[in-house]
Structure 1
Amino acid sequence: MTDEDAAGDRRLVAGWQGRYYEDFTVGDVYKHPFGRTVTETDNVWLTNLTMNLNPMHFNEAYAAETEFGERLVDGTFVIALAVGMSVIDISVNATANLGYDRIRHHAPVYHGDTIFAESEVLEKRESSSRDHVGIVTTELRAFNQDGTKVLSLERTPMVLKREYAQPTAEQPPGWPEGVGTLNADLDGE
């Protein structure tokens, strides 16, 4: 290691800032990072929070007598989890979600299952009413740890065009101007 390497010039480096409308290509598939194990707490909280009164989600004695033999995870939790997993690749730069269509639960999800998600770009088009966004439709698919598809849906967000977002290392998406380390802070060293 040289003295120059040891001193290390400090600089702001842009991290992942999400995809903009121009970055989407029909046919691309994004495997979203990280799986997430569904816990009993996840299921019970969402079931109670949304007042889902189906005993399949919160009554172990009842669920044990069904064809599944145990409680099932609330399907709306699976939808929310899969959509959340896709945000990093699909909608960090969305201005609105226009719709969720063709939602299908292909297999049950149980406490302890680990869910993974991927999205395929089905269609993209310019917005006819807003110059700063385009409209992207994706198919979101979720799988459990065994590779069983448990969910699919189509999702259509309006996504910012890069020229309107103008992200920088100093002010990435979601950061207010002037917060954190600025280039001026590094220049004076």
Structure 2
Amino acid sequence: MIGIVMAGGKGTRMNLDDEKLLLKYKKPIILHVIDSLNNSNLFSKILAITSSNSPKTKKLLQENNIEIFDTPGIGYVEDLNLVLKAIDDQVLVTSGDLPLLDGEIIKKIVNQYDSQKTWTSILVTKKFLSSLGLESDYPVNFSDQVCHYTGISLVNSKKITSLETLDENYIIFDDKRLAFNLNSKQDYDLLSTT
């Protein structure tokens, strides 16, 4: 299995002077995410997906000897599609803005992998997000409740022909390590209270 970390976004919702993934939570957040994948000992390779939108993040990753896959930075879906077309393997995709991620929760997620399913997105319930004081802009109705994407997916890239015609499956994991994705300044302020 290959671990993919999406690290090429603009992070415009944060309204920061610097790149979002360089925000520190003991160390730059992108390095927390990379370390959590490494610490799980489950991946034959870990790739950080970069673009011209995040040159300082790319530089930090290179300085830390992390393999990168550079994309045009058109958008999350377009960049991910480009990467998945180049990979013929089982993949865990995660966004680079999950500062509480760790090897243990990565193992729990990977244990849910089903190679018969092309794409499985990991969700948290709106109720759980709200209990943490968090919000998300991407709701999905699943299992008779409103849920939100965590930015983590399990993918069998061998079965993908197009991201537009995917049969998406879902698994709910109400866990703080997955719910805490930094999308706003308020999220980052809340992080310091955890």
TM-score (normalizing by structure 2): 0.28
Name which one, 1 or 2, has greater alpha-carbon Rg: 1
Q: Specify which structure has the higher proportion of helix.
A: 2
